[in-house]
Structure 1
Amino acid sequence: MTTAEKTLFTVLRAETPPVPALPPVGQFIGGKFVPSTSSETADVVNPATEGILMQVPAGTVEDVDAAVAAAVAAKAAWAATTPRERSAVLLKIADIIETNRAVFETLEAANTGKPEAVAEDDISSAIDTFRFSAGAARAYSTLGADDYAENHTSVIHREPVGVVGVITPWNYPLLMAAWKIAPILGAGNTLVLKPSEQTPLTTLKLAELIAAEVPAGVINIVTGPGRVVGNRLSEHPGVDLVAITGSVGSGQKVAAAAADTVKRVHLELGGKAPVVIFADADLEAAAKGVRSAGFWNGGQECGAACRVLVHESVADKFTELLVREISEITVGTPGGGDAEIGSMISKAHYERVLAAIDEIRKDGLTIAVGGNAIDGPGYFIEPTVVTNVPAGAPITSNEIFGPVVSVETFSNDEEAVTRANETIYGLAASVWTKDSARSLNVPRKLDFGTVWVNSHLVIATEMPWGGFKGSGYGRDLSSYALDDFSRTKHVMYNRG
């Protein structure tokens, strides 16, 4: 892949990139960092500079077994704690992240190449996740105890499932860890977490800073490749549930490996979010919404507003507005100024996105703005808008997971709904209209776990996040997450 002859965007680069406070080297097992059973390591790269930040262990099956053993040993005592006691630990974790906010933001930005504004939002959201879960852990709602059969009183117990295996992605390393750790601990479980081998640093830093506050063995972290560490977690007989945020392919592998031990799985997988813009919509607001939600975190976001369906009568006007908005996006390195988007996560992913753009060109589609690599160092790609996309084109269904948004048109409401639903994914969508009846009716017909009206990618910790169809099942955030990491037991007492 060659860099285009002319680029429309330049990168705002920091003269001296901030130096992150790196975590210890080793696997976090039983409350402390210990050497891996393997001498092999993996480089952790700053994708904005291509420099190596540090090396972490390439974990083994034996490392996973040791971590699961520690989690099993700790689970009875942790399950026996009261919700108030678990809540206090979660609040302490939130306070530690808050106190060390600058450390986490700098480390996250360096490990992912994301701009400061995105890193700041990630850390704030992680803090809020722990604080919400601390409250939710104390406020379970369940069926009331009563006589549902004559002379028999029924009581519902909410119990932890036991040991949870967690696999987190590279796009939001600390935040996705928080989405899992907080409700898992709040529900009384212990866990073994495998961060992405590309972005493990903030998760390891969290372990370092909270080690004194969490009982040994309650949280364990093993770094390493998915084919080894992730697979072992999924198949391990000592793991009672495995939860992953990742691609559809990764979710399928986890579910298949978990099937042998009939363990529960919690899958938050990919997306291809349609943005359905009707003729009566506020087109300027919609264009600004796609600018923000389509290119947040460089489009490396499973709920990104990456597929626009706009009514044919206003398509030209909307496209003009959108291209103008995207042409104004700033690209930059962490510490390099007020950038909106940063680099792709890795060289491999950078090349995948550029290959997808090449295919778009071969398909004869119009690239209205962007579409090129940006001269290095770093894995930067111009924000890209693809227009005049016909129904059924590959870009309408393939998740590019980069700074690429496509625009296609529709003729009527029925066609809009049908086309929006024509995807294997079912994570998120949005509807843009001023018509109150349409704003109520269309979301009910869209086969997605979250549907926004006149906005996109606005997430509240109190509300559930998760998908349908190929986007998986299970819910993160909200009290539903604590439900997912619990089991229900019915005890019936004969009073006769």
Structure 2
Amino acid sequence: MTTTPTATATATTTELIDPRTGRVRGTAPLSREPEVAAAVAGARAALPGWRALTPKERGRRLDRLAGLVEEHVDRYAALERAGTGKPEAEAAGELEQVADLFRFYAAAARTRTAPAAGHLVPGHESWVRWEPVGVVGAVLPWNYPLLMAAWRCAPALAAGNTVVAKPAETTPDSLELLAEHAAAALGPGVLGWLPGDRLTGRLLVASDVDMLAFTGSGAAGADVAARAGIRRTSLELGGNAPVIVLPDAPAHTYAALAEAVTYNAGQSCAAPARVITLTENYEAVVAGLTKALGARVAGRDFGPLNNADQAARYDALVASSAAGYDVAGTVAPAAGEEGGHWRPARLLADLPADDPAVTEEVFGPLLTVQHSDGVAEALAMANGVPQALAASVWTADLDLGLELAARLDAGEAWLGCHLVQTAELPHGGRGASGHGTDLSTLALHEYQRPKTVTVRLGRTLDGV
């Protein structure tokens, strides 16, 4: 999340910038105490009716919402692209995932799993009820405005909670439309929209919500956790994904990594970041990635960085790197978009282990390459940073690849691919990458509380 430098507690609007051009594209409201209180009160009022619905009825309404996303997909795509600069194909693919997520959780809430139940104590019957937490405050990032909203809101809503969602300051557009459609499909107050800046987020955290779901930077996540107190939190705080490339890596490795690190201009928490080779294949990997990244053109194959603050942070990390090898690709924006936050695909190599481009999450279209003396050292280097969200291994040796995937400290590990995700598979971090689960049926329990119910039986049938 970023804040506009001129935004203050008394400001009522903020300017929105088109990242493709760097020019003002409109304004958005900044929610303060009255708006936050009203949104949370609306969600609180809607909660009894929403949680009382059967999973089947909630599922029908969530399916209706998915249908509205598909019916208005062109409007959603235009809003997503205005805030992020994503290419048309990226926006279209992500909107397809948004609709799929609401449909997935519409069905998943009807196929629950629970701990053991039945005759567990003599003379008693027991079972477990999964109950919603209540009102969920969701603070969302700018890199995938609508998709991350679906990651958080779909399971929370399916589990019987109501949600107040705060989009990032730079990308409020598509969530406003989703809230409009949610009011029609789910009912008033079930999914609220709260535009604003960092102060708005803090006001939401301090409000009368029962749980906080946050996706963003580590520093901001630590602040949310501190302010949340004893309330439940679900935190996804970024990554710095290692990529172990062994000498027998398949031929598609370089092109696949180049595509993954430039998807969304590298602004993905699970994007490949730190390539680690053995000494024997280091030069070949540097050469292969140089060629593959050189074929990816900013403005043609991928979009810009999201905002001026992010562009400045990225530039500072690149400038502070002590890399001996620094090669950048091509930037070719469309006519009229020369002033946007475009950055080329970049490769840094021959750099020290403590280089900031290695130790920090860059969040841009950049790969670093380091080498190790053996597989064990490569694994230690991969696990040598505080973030532990995602990782990948590239080798033709399936046994070795699976062993490395098992020993990588990451919530998600890929073998021979990267950034392959689907609604059925969980995603979540460890260590400095936060805690909690997005995606899959496991995410339902993120937004539920178990209640054990035990009944003493008045009488039994002897001999039965």
TM-score of the aligned structures, taking structure 2 as reference length: 0.93
Deviation at 1:371, TM superposition (A): 9.5
In 2, the alpha carbon distance for the partners of 1:286 and 1:163 equals: 44
Aligned pairs for 1:178-189 within 5 A: 178-189=150-161
Aligned position for 2:253: 286
Which amino acid in structure 2 is aligned with residue 380 of structure 1?
Answer: W
1:385 matches 2:353: no
In 1, the alpha carbon distance for the partners of 2:316 and 2:386 equals: 22
Aligned position for 1:491: 453
Which amino acid in structure 2 is aligned with residue 75 of structure 1?
Answer: L
Aligned pairs for 1:283-432 within 5 A: 284-332=251-299, 339-360=300-321, 363-370=322-329, 376-432=338-394
What is the aligned counterpart of 1:270 among 228, 232, 238? Answer: 238
Deviation at 1:210, TM superposition (A): 3.4
SS at match of 1:212: helix
Q: Do the aligned partners of residues 444 and 364 (structure 1) sit closer, same or farther apart at CA in structure 2, a change above 3 Å counting?
A: closer
In 2, the alpha carbon distance for the partners of 1:38 and 1:314 equals: 57
Deviation at 1:417, TM superposition (A): 0.9
Q: Is the 8 A contact 1:464 1:478 kept in 2?
A: yes
Q: Is the 8 A contact 2:349 2:369 kept in 1?
A: yes
TM-score of the aligned structures, taking structure 1 as reference length: 0.87
Deviation at 1:412, TM superposition (A): 1.1
Aligned position for 1:8: none
- List runs of 5+ in structure 1 lacking aligned partners: 1-36, 333-338
Q: Is the 8 A contact 1:288 1:325 kept in 2?
A: yes
Q: Is the 8 A contact 1:38 1:59 kept in 2?
A: no
Aligned position for 1:125: 97
In 2, the alpha carbon distance for the partners of 1:410 and 1:392 equals: 15
SS at match of 1:478: coil
Deviation at 1:144, TM superposition (A): 4.1
- Alpha-carbon deviations, 1:267-308, whole Å to 9, x = none? 0111000000112211x3110121111111001111111110
In 2, the alpha carbon distance for the partners of 1:39 and 1:269 equals: 28
RMSD between aligned alpha carbons? 1.7
The total of aligned residue pairs comes to 447
In 2, the alpha carbon distance for the partners of 1:98 and 1:461 equals: 17
SS at match of 1:188: coil
SS at match of 1:130: helix
In 1, the alpha carbon distance for the partners of 2:223 and 2:330 equals: 33
Which amino acid in structure 2 is aligned with residue 143 of structure 1?
Answer: P
- Alpha-carbon deviations, 1:49-96, whole Å to 9, x = none? 123222111110221111111111111111100000110111111111
In 2, the alpha carbon distance for the partners of 1:152 and 1:278 equals: 58
Which amino acid in structure 1 is aligned with residue 118 of structure 2?
Answer: D
Which amino acid in structure 2 is aligned with residue 366 of structure 1?
Answer: Y
Aligned position for 1:7: none
What is the aligned counterpart of 2:29 among 28, 38, 57? Answer: 57
SS at match of 2:344: coil
- List runs of 5+ in structure 2 lacking aligned partners: 1-8, 459-464
1:250 matches 2:234: no
Which amino acid in structure 1 is aligned with residue 324 of structure 2?
Answer: L
In 2, the alpha carbon distance for the partners of 1:160 and 1:285 equals: 45
Deviation at 1:466, TM superposition (A): 0.7
Which amino acid in structure 2 is aligned with residue 377 of structure 1?
Answer: G
Deviation at 1:203, TM superposition (A): 0.4
Aligned position for 1:233: 204
SS at match of 1:429: strand
In 2, the alpha carbon distance for the partners of 1:465 and 1:59 equals: 31
- Alpha-carbon deviations, 1:421-442, whole Å to 9, x = none? 0111010000111112212211
SS at match of 2:417: coil
Q: Is the 8 A contact 1:289 1:455 kept in 2?
A: yes
